[in-house]
Amino acid sequence: MISVSEAIQLVEKQSLPLLKSTYKPVEKSGGYKLFADVDSPINMPPFRQSAMDGYALNLHNNLNYNLIGEVKAGDGHQLILKPGQAVRIFTGAPVPDTANAVMMQEKVVVDGNVITIQNQIEINVNIRPLGEQVKKGELALLKNTKLTPAAIGYLSSLGISKVKVFKKPSIALITTGNELVEAGADLDYGKIYESNSNMLLSALYSLKFYDVTIHKVEDDYEKTQSKLNSVINENDLVIITGGISVGDYDFVGKALSALNVTEHFYKVKQKPGKPLFYGTKNNTSIFALPGNPAAALTCFYVYVYIALQKMMNNDVVALPRIKAISVSNFKKNGDRPQFLKAIYNNNQVEILEGQSSAMQQTFAISNALVFMPEDDSAIETGDSVEVILLPI
Ligand SMILES: Nc1nc2c(c(=O)[nH]1)N[C@H]1C(S)=C(S)[C@@H](COP(=O)(O)OP(=O)(O)OC[C@H]3O[C@@H](n4cnc5c(N)ncnc54)[C@H](O)[C@@H]3O)O[C@H]1N2
Ligand code: MOO
């Protein structure tokens, strides 16, 4: 059995960036990273633009100007101003080539066709120069830039509607177990509602991984092997839950080994999530998470999350870990390091009652996990503890 830190290191080492590309409509490219540099197809702004509502001036040595016309946003005409002439102008409107400053209207007195400005102004004031943000043909955004709402707005302002981005992994989620039935079905004796697929699907969606398919297999060796074979061939990441322990009907480990999946580790000294498997085949990463829902989700956040970040070529790969003061007492049984379901708020953390691997009720109200190392046997109120903040 390996330690938590050894397991994390192995995931970091063995999960590699996906170097596949795809095209996305710009509005759907949030969270992706650019596969290549993007050059600007236009000057931005595309014309000299007024930054204020006011008057565009052809400057001269006098505070009085003659008004000769008006330009509003969207106008396409070109007015010719001589020195001492002005045009009424509005924010976003094209500044005539013959104007060299814009005075905001609050600083202007209007008397019929003559305006008087409060003071002399510098050349080019309140004019956004042509191509100030980026010039046509020049680099707009570098390869690998993450497409945030601001970046999407910027690319859209350049008239770009489609972007080439690094593909996100295609992911298969597989649940195993004869006891599992779907919501809506009768809950016959011995059955439970299947919940790991919705839980992990929503965890993936919240991290903006949408290319996910869900598969369900019974506790049957042949069916497990054949399903795993097809999903491993077709996906970049495979996440299985259940059937990875030592019971007579736990077939996942045997099937993965028959499929020649390279095992990087099986069993981690931790609670929950001891029977965790991680392996790779060709370029596909495979995690077999324990079936117990709270164990599966903990392993997702501690290990699968890292693999996802590595596949996306992100620099920060693990969830943030901070120190906080415990407002609870907790006593650990056994010597496995523990991830404890907890509520973090304002530098304080409450460790919840009900820490078993099956405890969905406590996980449902948690926003953090407290990591309790192997050597610690108890946490007292007031102790400083390590907290993993969940991306929820
Ligand atoms: N003799 C031993 N038994 C067990 C050991 C051990 O070391 N020796 N380890 C225990 C630990 S720790 C865990 S964790 C579990 C993991 O077992 P599996 O990964 O094989 O998972 P299953 O047995 O298939 O299921 C466990 C539990 O979770 C429920 N489950 C499974 N899938 C789902 C799902 N999709 N939705 C909701 N609930 C699910 C399942 O019904 C079981 O209750 O092994 C221990 N045993
Ligand atoms: O490792 Mo299991 O998740 O402790 O019950």
Provide the 3-class DSSP secondary structure of residue 328. coil
Statement to judge: residues 82 and 188 lie in one domain = no
Task: Give the contacts of 27 (CB within 8 A, at least 6 positions apart).
Answer: 152, 156
By alpha-carbon position, which residue is closest to atom 5 of ligand 2? Answer: 357
Statement to judge: residues 357 and 325 lie in one domain = yes
pLDDT at 315 over 90: no
Q: What is the pTM assigned to this prediction?
A: 0.86
Overall average pLDDT of the 366-391 stretch = 97
Q: Which ligand sits nearest to residue 297's alpha carbon?
A: 2
pLDDT at 316 over 90: no
Overall average pLDDT of the 44-55 stretch = 97
The rounded distance, in Å, linking the Cα atoms of 276 and 264 is 11
Residue for token pair 């014309």: 47
pLDDT band, residue 303 (cuts 50/70/90): very high
The amino acid that residue 97 corresponds to is: D
Overall average pLDDT of the 58-75 stretch = 97
Domain at 172, CATH number? 3.40.980.10
Q: Identify whether 222 is part of a domain.
A: yes
pLDDT at 147 over 90: yes
The residue whose CB lies within 8 Å of the most ligand 1 atoms, and thus the one to mutate among 199, 245, 355, is 245
Q: So what's the pLDDT on residue 317? A: 86
Overall average pLDDT of the 279-289 stretch = 97
Work out how many domains the chain is built from and give that number: 4
Ligand 1 center from residue 244 Cα (angstroms): 8
Burial class (CB in 10 A: 0-12, 13-18, 19+), 62: exposed
Ligand 2 center from residue 305 Cα (angstroms): 19
Domain at 384, CATH number? 2.40.340.10
The amino acid that residue 251 corresponds to is: F
The residue whose CB lies within 8 Å of the most ligand 1 atoms, and thus the one to mutate among 292, 338, 355, is 292
Percent of the chain with pLDDT over 90: 96
Residues of the domain holding 252: 4-19+168-311
